[in-house]
Amino acid sequence: MKKFLYFFLSWVLFVSFNSTYAQTAHKIAIQFYAEATNIGAVSIYADTINEGEIYTIQPKTLPSSYSNAQALYDALVGSEFYFELGSLNQDINLYFVISDINLSAGTYSLGNTPLFFDVDFSVQDWNGNNLSEPFNLNTGKYAVIKLFKSAAFNNFVANTGINPSLAWAFAYATATGYDLSGIQTYDSTSSITALVSHFSKVVGSNHSSVTGVNYFRNTKIPTHFALRQNYPNPFNPTTNIQYDLSQKSYVELKVYNLLGENIATLVRGVKEAGTHIVSFKPGNISSGIYIYQLKTDKITLSRKMIFMK
């Protein structure tokens, strides 16, 4: 009877969620290109994702004419990219063009500003017709670009002249300078994330080089323990879970089904005070509602998330 009750509640919550949020997850066909300042653009590869689906940039060997830019590309490998569900009103083709590559130095070259990211985004409809630039996402929705500070990324940044001890930020590059309207940066010790509300040309550098105010650096110690809502949610195949520790603590972060069975242990060990983000990619589990729980010696916090196949 108890198991039946859990199943019934799960079904009711799942149906309720879908009736509230049911909508078409539009398709995004992504075309990845590299473009140097002195030779033509080359195609790297293409793929297709849906809104709400996290896409990870894949390792590729660049054409021989671009071999000096391999480290630049490798710095992006493993980065994550996705559209929040409800961002689009139609299926689109998105051109992701890694731009302004200086093949002699193996870095980006845009004026005198050293960059860790330089991508021109342009958008077409599903029939190949160009859409307006900038291409605006639906109000309150974002596309998310998350770069992980891997060894390859850190080595590339070191070669650009960007000071890793200074604050970093993303910005839109325009004909007259840099614009931070409609773009937000979240910086942590392990990653740097951009939330963009429209698509044009996006760059990343030291914050002082792209002056603006839309910047959020996670260097301060949180004032309390917190477990944030996972994003994206609902998700497939991967979601991110953020938790805040106000002091160094032994931490367990686990995922449970609605029967109370532990299906994954994401964190177990001592963690420093600060903000932490963990990715969760479930194995062979069913669509439905799951509970993720943060437990320290001070507090236990739980939230719900929804996995949709």
- DSSP state letters, 53-104: --EEPPP-PPPGGGGGGHHHHHTTTT-EEEEPTT--SS-EEEEEEEEEEETT
Pair of tokens at residue 28: 């995004």
pLDDT of residue 1: 52
pLDDT of residue 52: 87
DSSP string, 200-226: SEEEEEEGGGG--S-EEETTSPPSS-E
Which residues on neighbouring strands pair with residue 243, listed in sequence order?
227, 276
- Domain 226-307 CATH class label: mainly beta
Helices (H), 75-128: none
pLDDT of residue 107: 94
Task: Residue 8: name the closest of 308, 288, 305, 307 by CA.
Answer: 288
Residue type, 60: K
pLDDT of residue 294: 95
Strands 80-83 and 143-148: what pairing? antiparallel
The DSSP output letter for 197 is S
List, for residues 242-288, the tens digit of each pLDDT value: 888 888 899 999 999 999 999 999 998 888 887 787 888 888 899 99
pLDDT of residue 241: 86
Pair of tokens at residue 173: 């590059």
* Mean predicted confidence (pLDDT) in 147-170: 88
Pair of tokens at residue 189: 């010790």
List, for residues 74-130, the tens digit of each pLDDT value: 999 999 999 988 899 999 999 999 999 999 999 998 877 889 999 999 999 999 898
- Given a cut of 70, whether residue 9 has pLDDT beyond it is no
List, for residues 19-56, the tens digit of each pLDDT value: 434 457 899 999 999 999 778 889 999 999 999 888 99
> CA–CA separation, 123 vs 125, rounded Å?
7
CB 248 within 8 A of CB 274: no
What mean pLDDT value characterizes the chain? 84
* Mean predicted confidence (pLDDT) in 182-194: 87
- Phi and psi dihedrals of 4, rounded to 5? -65, -40
pLDDT of residue 261: 93
The answer, as to whether pTM is greater than 0.75, is: no
Q: How confident is the model at residue 69 (pLDDT cuts 50, 70, 90)?
A: very high
Give percent of the chain with pLDDT exceeding 90. Answer: 50
Residue pointed to by tokens 């990211």: 117
Please report, for the chain, the start and end positions of each structural domain, with discontinuous segments joined by +: 27-217, 226-307
Is pLDDT larger for residue 284 or for residue 1? 284
- Given a cut of 70, whether residue 10 has pLDDT beyond it is no
The DSSP output letter for 129 is P
pLDDT of residue 214: 35
pLDDT of residue 260: 92
